[in-house]
């Protein structure tokens, strides 16, 4: 199974999701999106595959979203995507792609539906135990 994770190693949810993927026996392709950035086509494809809008994945905490005026509901999806291209941190994470689909994995256990053999139990960094 090929799995790709758009990952921010500074994010606990992203680290937990990556660890869950690895616990399933898969070594995913890791895309450090803060370093690589996004392309318009990739963002549009990921959004379409998730059935979400740019507003749905807009990261508003610990990002410049509010300072840039992006939290205003009148801001269009096209303008949000433009901002996300300029500021990759504006895209909430992690986003995981597998043959089973594409998903924003917040909370991290949302990745289970994308894996062939998710771990029966998994302990998150904060000690929370997830059971299948």
Q: Nearest to residue 6, comparing CAs of 29, 22, 25?
A: 29
Helix axes 77-86, 40-50, angle to 10 degrees: 130
pLDDT in tens, 68-101: 999 999 999 999 999 999 999 999 999 999 999 9
CATH code assigned to 4-131:
3.40.30.10
The model scores a pTM over 0.85? yes
The C-alpha atoms of residue 4 and residue 34 are separated, in whole angstroms, by 15
| CB contact set of 69 (below 8 Å; sequence gap of 6+) | 75
Is 105 part of the annotated catalytic residue set?
A: no
Coil, helix or strand at residue 35 = helix
The catalytically annotated residue of 6, 7, 8, 11 is 11
What is the band of 1 on the pLDDT scale with cuts at 50, 70, 90? confident
Q: Where are the domains of the chain?
A: 4-131
Q: Could you tell me the CA-to-CA distances from 105 to 61, 67, 77, 93, 115 in Å, in that order?
A: 16, 26, 21, 7, 12
């Amino acid at each position: 199974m090929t799995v790709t994770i758009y990952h921010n190693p500074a994010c606990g949810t992203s680290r937990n999701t990556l660890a869950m993927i690895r616990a399933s026996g898969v070594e995913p392709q890791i895309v450090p999106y803060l370093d690589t950035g996004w392309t318009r086509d990739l963002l549009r494809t990921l959004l379409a595959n998730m059935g979400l809008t740019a507003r749905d994945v807009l990261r508003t905490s610990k990002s410049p979203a509010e300072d840039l005026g992006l939290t205003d509901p009148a801001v269009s999806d096209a303008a949000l995507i433009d901002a996300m291209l300029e500021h990759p941190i504006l895209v909430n994470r992690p986003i995981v792609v597998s043959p089973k689909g594409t998903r924003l994995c917040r909370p991290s256990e949302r990745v289970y539906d994308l894996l062939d053999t998710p771990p029966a139990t998994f302990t998150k960094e904060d000690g929370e135990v997830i059971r299948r």
